[in-house]
Amino acid sequence: MIDDNGPLHNNRDFFALKHAIVMEEWKVANTNIGRLDSVVFTIRGWAITTTTAAVAYAYTKPDPRVCMLILIPLLFLWLIDALFKTFQRVFIDRSKEIEVYLASDSFEQDFQDERMSRFVSPELSIRFGQNSSGERLRKVIEQAFLRNVVFTYVPLIIFAMIAYGAVKISQPLRGSGL
């Protein structure tokens, strides 16, 4: 085995290298969890902004169809949100695996033996795209129905539908001069 300074001479060097790789993989996973949280937060902001803007436009026009048309981009944003939550789940699962290993007796034994035979790292990259298209779609749909995802989009859908009714009801009133 060779590193930047020449051959690794013993198990201690190999263990130190593998430990550094595990720690770097853990840092990468946690960094990406936070980064994807920011992306999801931005997507949800777009969903709220586009829905409220469409309802405001529908009320001022007045055109209730806009309230129903906004459901198309809203559902698209929900799907994108779920897709990014699926990516984030990969990083969350890997981070948890590393944390469980580092807190385990196996790690203590590996540390004493100066080997890392009980844990495979790096492994993050092989987790993406390893399943069939149907399995990947199932995971996205599963993420779409997580409580925190549903609690963002379902109220927006209900709001758009209620607004549709309110705008439709207000049309005759506006025409009569009330």
- DSSP character at residue 31: H
The tokens for 73 are 């981009």
Predicted confidence at residue 4, as pLDDT, reads 53
* H or E stretch at 129: none
Domain residue ranges of the chain, discontinuous segments joined by +:
8-173
CB-based contacts of 50, cutoff 8 Å, min separation 6: 70, 73, 74, 77
Structure confidence at residue 173 (pLDDT): 65
Handedness of CA 13, 14, 18, 21 (dihedral sign): positive
Q: Give the span between the Cα atoms of 70 and 161, in whole angstroms.
A: 10
pLDDT reading at 2 higher than 50: no
pLDDT tens digits, 79-125 = 999 999 999 999 999 999 999 988 988 888 888 887 777 777 777 77
User: Which of 84, 94, 114, 75 lies closest to 30, judged by CA?
Assistant: 94
- Mean pLDDT of all residues in 136-162: 96
pLDDT at 150 over 70: yes
Q: What is the pLDDT of residues 24-56, one digit of tens each?
A: 999 999 999 999 999 999 999 999 999 999 999
pLDDT above 80: residue 177 = no
